[in-house]
Amino acid sequence: MSQVTTKMCWLTVPRRTVRMTNFLLIRHAQCDPMGQSIAGRLPGIHLNDTGRREAERLADRLDGVALAGLYSSPLERALETARPIALRQQLSVRTLEELNEIDFGEWTGRSLAELDPLPGWRRFNSFRSGSRIPGGENMAEVLARSLQAIDRLCRLHPDSAEIVGVVSHGDVLRLLVGHALGSSPDLMQRLELSPASLSILELESHGPRLLLLNSTDGWPFGFPSRKAR
């Protein structure tokens, strides 16, 4: 049985070397399937009107931050989140396949209500570290490829003054943040990353530090911010 290697740049640099990269982890803005169905890697899933406004506001928030590079999942909803930022920053968006959404295999396109009774779906959501999506990925594979992307970007942007933007998907980013915190994939749903949210991960040669988690310009997605009448 082959083993999946999940090394990150801070594990491969000698301790005597001072090296740091700051990652701005961005979840894509809202699209219609969010909270309703598994969009997965279906083509043609674009931001909805709310998502487009979120993406523009996100670009406004980052107007005073100088990004050294901007990298994105190749899916439309991620690219449409990245493009307003790139326009303000006068950068091109570079796509990385390793930042792609989880391959949801046979569950792609199905509604959450349809999936909820399935034992495999329930197992996946309670024991992600030991589950494989039918016809899709397991979490070790998703984590391995996303760590490969981060490792490569560490090497491309080793200057401590550089901030690197990464636009990806909720579960992919939860895995990265959870890994940095030493948390099991089974606990990843305890981390909330709202649409168009910002998290900041600082990677040094001796280890990571989470500087910001799920920062938005409002209340977290789904939070009942208004008092019940």
Return the amino acid letter for 10: W
The answer to whether position 224 is within a domain reads no
Q: Do 125 and 118 contact (CB within 8 A), yes or no?
A: no
Residue 80 in any domain: the answer is yes
Judge whether 67 lies within some domain. Answer: yes
Residue 158 has a pLDDT of 86
> Which residue's entry shows tokens 């949801």?
104
Half-sphere exposure (Cβ direction) of 201: Cα atoms closer than 13 Å: 26
Residue 46 falls within a domain, yes or no?
Answer: yes
What was the pLDDT predicted at 19? 62
Kindly report the pTM of this predicted structure: 0.88
Which CATH number goes with the domain that contains 49?
3.40.50.1240
Residue 223 lies in a domain: no
In a domain, 37, yes or no: yes
- In a domain, residue 220? The reply is no
From the list 116, 96, 115, the residue with the least C-alpha distance to 105 is 115
User: What is the structure's pLDDT at 162?
Assistant: 87
The mean pLDDT values, 10 residues at a time, for the chain of 229 residues are 43 48 97 97 98 97 94 98 97 98 98 97 95 97 97 90 94 97 94 96 90 85 57
Q: Which domain holds residue 93?
A: 9-215
Q: How far apart are CA 140 and CA 186, in angstroms?
A: 11
Residue 28 lies in a domain: yes
Domain count, the chain: 1
